[in-house]
Amino acid sequence: MVIFLVMRVVPGEPAAMILGDKASPEAIARVRKALGLDEPLPVQYVRFGSDLVRGNLGNSFITRTPASEEIRSALPATVELSLAAVLLAVVFGVGAGIISATRRYSIFDRASMVGAVLGISMPSFWIGLLLIALFAVRLRWLPVSGRINVTLPFVPVSRFFLVDSLLTGNAVALADTLRHLALPAITLGTASMALIARMTRSSMLEVIQQDYIVMARAKGLRERMVIMRHALKNALIPVATVVGLQTGSLLGGAVLTETIFAWPGIGKLLVDAVVQRDIPVVQGIVMLTALLFVLINLLVDLLYAYLDPRVRYA
Amino acid sequence: MSGCDSSSANRRVRPATLAWAGKDVRRSRTVWVRLRRDRVALGGLGLFSLLLGVAVLAPLISPYDPNAQDLRSNLQASSRAHLLGTDDLGRDLLSRIIYGSRVSLVAGLAAMAVALCLGVFIGATTGYFHGLYEAVMMRAMDSLLAFPGIILAIALMAALRPSLQNVIIALGVVATPAYARLVRGSVLSVKERDYVEAARAIGAGHGRILAHYIMPNVMAPIIVQATLQTGSAMLAEAGLSFLGLGVQPPTASWGSILNDGRPYLYAAPYAAIFPGLAIMVAVLSLNLLGDGLRDALDPRLSEG
């Protein structure tokens, strides 16, 4: 169903796109035939479907290499970036949320909630450009784009640069990777961080008012213990949902972030493929992100049962 | 006999509807009273009204033609002649941002309207009627929800030609399932209430029950959703235009102005700063208003 929708949605006029504006109609027809685009849509769909179940996404119209190959080589960069962004968002979002809730109406609370509403309202690519303008262009502290300084003596094994540099003990490469990762991860993570902070705060405030928290305080437990042990565990249940949903939407946000930072992941690949009408690559990436998105949401549901024992899946 | 029945039914339906309408008026009044006390939300409303005013009055208040090029004075910093400076083709940034507000606001509001109409219709009908129609529609909504929003919008824009109209369609379609599910859930819970049963008993038709008895009770979450979603649609439009998949030159939207300024981050950072600021202010105003509306419409939520 999903695949069919994507299939119907994506076709445009790729043959003309590949050949450029001056191509003759005959040349366009020839390319269409070579790419199998001259056949009726249902026929294309059946062929696409039967290729798909064998793991064949078709060849890229532009590079002629299998689309699955292109996507596979770009995916680790996106995963690394997204995980870094989630990590940032969870650590700072949950942290700010807890402090805000425990010191309600304090200056920290007000400042961080104003910051959160700003964070939700800012376009991520604008944050990225501002960060580049400040830290990369003006101050020259951090690199403008890319994943790593290509002149470094570093041979990636798995394309997860952080893992590779850690495993090979290459400290220079690790530091350089982190320096390249910093700005894109902040850019991608800001909106999620803001949402998570708001959610943590309101959920925490709700939990703190409940009887068992009063009870815990009455027992004479230290405030730190009450908050971290008793309140946090229940407060985090709705936060887990938000984190899960955000992780999924980061896959989408990565498109803009990767474009700005020339980050060689699937987001940038998608934009390039759309511009060049490289249908197999576009289809592959859209399907892959949908698959990951659904998987992440499934994981969140399972995590729910762990966090909240009242939830049981029959 | 049947004529007598329907006329007596009509007589009885009217007072009942009036009573409900009266309750609605009262409720919207209390919402307004609550909203008026919320200074932050009022600020959001004021800010958004201001932006709407700017968009409507664009030809009157913008100092230059937004597309007039003057290559001799390109990439200028802010000056008395050009308050926000000029872009790489010497076009006045302030005028472009003022005119861009039209495109950005229209895109956000129209995408919201598309999603609202489609989503409310699908949600109300699938919540009210069961069977094959419901199953097919809800599976279609689920499959739309399987994609991250911006990815689906990009895929749709790849299939359609980049233009304002298609941006609106793409963003409207992307946001539809959220409304459909929201409305369907509310309809499912409201439809079993006694007063709906009573309306059915006195002979009100499906359309009448949906429009007069069910919908007024599901409006609150829809209004909040519409406000917040207009903001996210504007963000998405800016993103698409930034990628070159939205409105096409020379028409300016805030996203495309930002993209135009991007190569000159060092020489002219303001060309990227101001359009982004405009996007942020617009989305911020809607988020503040939406948060305020949610608190005003559902006071239980604001107690926490």
Q: Which of residues 122 through 151 in chain B touch A, CB cutoff 8 A?
A: 139, 143-144, 146-151
Q: Give the tokens for residue B129.
A: 């009627």
Neighbours of B255 (CB within 10 A): 33
Bridge partners (DSSP) of residue B86 are B92
Q: Which range is least confidently modeled, A231-240, B47-56, B70-79, B134-143?
A: B70-79
B264 within a domain of the structure (yes/no): yes
Q: What's the distance, CA B53 to chain centroid?
A: 17
- B145 vs A108, B107, B120, B233, CA distance in Å? 36, 21, 16, 16
Contact at CB, B150 and A277, closer than 8 angstroms: no
Whether A257 and chain B come into contact, CB under 8 Å, resolves to no
Q: Which CATH number describes the domain made up of A77-124+188-313?
A: 1.10.3720.10
For the segment B97-109, what is each residue's pLDDT rounded down to a tens digit?
888 888 889 999 9
Backbone angles phi, psi at A74, to 5 degrees: -95, -20
Give me the pLDDT at residue A280, please. Answer: 77
Coil, helix or strand for A59?
Answer: strand
Q: Which range is least confidently modeled, A33-37, A274-278, B193-197, B206-210?
A: A33-37
Number of structural domains chain B divides into:
1
Contacts of A270 in chain B (CB under 8 A): 151, 154
Distance to chain B for A202, nearest Cα, Å: 7
pLDDT band at residue A70 using 50, 70 and 90 as cut-offs: confident
For the segment B225-272, what is each residue's pLDDT rounded down to a tens digit?
888 889 989 999 888 888 888 888 777 888 888 888 887 777 777 778
Sign of CA dihedral A227, A228, A230, A231: positive
Say which of A6, A126, A259 has its CB closest to residue B258.
A126
Contact at CB, B148 and A209, closer than 8 angstroms: no
Contacts of B151 in chain A (CB under 8 A): 251-252, 255, 270, 285-286, 289-290
Question: Does residue A64 carry a pLDDT above 60?
Answer: yes
Contacts (Cβ under 8 Å, ≥6 apart) of B149:
A249, A252, B174, B175, B236
Give me the pLDDT at residue B260, please. Answer: 82
Give me the pLDDT at residue B23, please. Answer: 53
Distance to chain A for B216, nearest Cα, Å: 28
Question: Does residue A155 carry a pLDDT above 50?
Answer: yes
Contact at CB, B150 and A118, closer than 8 angstroms: no
Whether B304 and chain A come into contact, CB under 8 Å, resolves to yes
For the segment A261-278, what is each residue's pLDDT rounded down to a tens digit?
888 888 888 888 888 777
Contact at CB, B288 and A117, closer than 8 angstroms: yes
The amino acid that residue B167 corresponds to is V
Distance to chain B for A171, nearest Cα, Å: 31
Which of B48, B51, B97, B154 would best serve as a mutation to test chain A binding (most A beta carbons within 10 A)? B154
Contacts of A248 in chain B (CB under 8 A): 148
B76 within a domain of the structure (yes/no): no
Q: Which residue of A has its CA nearest to B290?
A: A117
Give the whole-angstrom CA distance, residue B255 versus residue B283.
13
Distance to chain B for A70, nearest Cα, Å: 18
Question: Does residue A128 carry a pLDDT above 90?
Answer: no
pTM here is: 0.80
Closest CA to B272 of B286, B261, B263, B284: B261
B171 within a domain of the structure (yes/no): yes
Give me the pLDDT at residue B2, please. Answer: 40
Contact at CB, A9 and B239, closer than 8 angstroms: no
Contacts of A255 in chain B (CB under 8 A): 150-151, 154, 239, 243
Whether A122 and chain B come into contact, CB under 8 Å, resolves to yes
Contacts of A269 in chain B (CB under 8 A): none
B80 within a domain of the structure (yes/no): no
Q: Give the tokens for residue B200.
A: 């059915």
- B130 vs A51, B125, B127, B200, CA distance in Å? 37, 9, 7, 17
| A to B CB pairs, distance under 8 Å | 126
Contacts of B237 in chain A (CB under 8 A): none
pLDDT band at residue B114 using 50, 70 and 90 as cut-offs: very high
Contact at CB, A120 and B279, closer than 8 angstroms: no
Give the whole-angstrom CA distance, residue B160 versus residue B190.
39
CATH of the domain at B225: 1.10.3720.10
Give me the pLDDT at residue B109, please. Answer: 92
Contact at CB, B151 and A248, closer than 8 angstroms: no
- Mean pLDDT for B46-64 is 83
Sign of CA dihedral B114, A122, A294, B294: negative
Do the Cβ atoms of B155 and B217 come closer than 8 Å? no
Q: Which of residues 159 through 198 in chain A touch B, CB cutoff 8 A?
A: none
- Highest average pLDDT, of A139-143, B148-152, B277-281, B296-300, comes from B277-281
Contacts (Cβ under 8 Å, ≥6 apart) of A34:
none
For the segment A221-255, what is each residue's pLDDT rounded down to a tens digit?
787 778 877 788 788 888 887 888 788 778 888 88
Q: Give the tokens for residue B77.
A: 């910093």
pLDDT band at residue B5 using 50, 70 and 90 as cut-offs: very low
Contact at CB, B149 and A249, closer than 8 angstroms: yes
Whether B279 and chain A come into contact, CB under 8 Å, resolves to yes
Could you list the residue range(s) of the whole structural domain that residue B234 is in?
2-68+86-303
Q: Which residue of B has its CA nearest to A246?
A: B148
Question: Does residue A17 carry a pLDDT above 70?
Answer: no
- Token look-up 């929800």 returns B145
The amino acid that residue A131 corresponds to is L
The domain limits of chain A are: 2-53, 77-124+188-313
Whether B81 and chain A come into contact, CB under 8 Å, resolves to no
- Token look-up 């208040």 returns B61
- Mean pLDDT for B105-123 is 91
Contact at CB, B243 and A117, closer than 8 angstroms: no
Contact at CB, A6 and B155, closer than 8 angstroms: yes
* DSSP assignment string, A246-295: HHHHHHHHHHHHHHHHT--SHHHHHHHHHHTT-HHHHHHHHHHHHHHHHH
Contact at CB, A252 and B149, closer than 8 angstroms: yes
Long-range contacts of B51-57 (CB under 8 A, 24+ apart): B51/B101, B51/B105, B51/B281, B51/B282, B51/B285, B52/B105, B54/B98, B54/B101, B55/B98, B55/B101, B55/B102, B55/B105, B55/B106
Whether A66 and chain B come into contact, CB under 8 Å, resolves to no
Give me the pLDDT at residue B111, please. Answer: 92
Contact at CB, B159 and A10, closer than 8 angstroms: yes
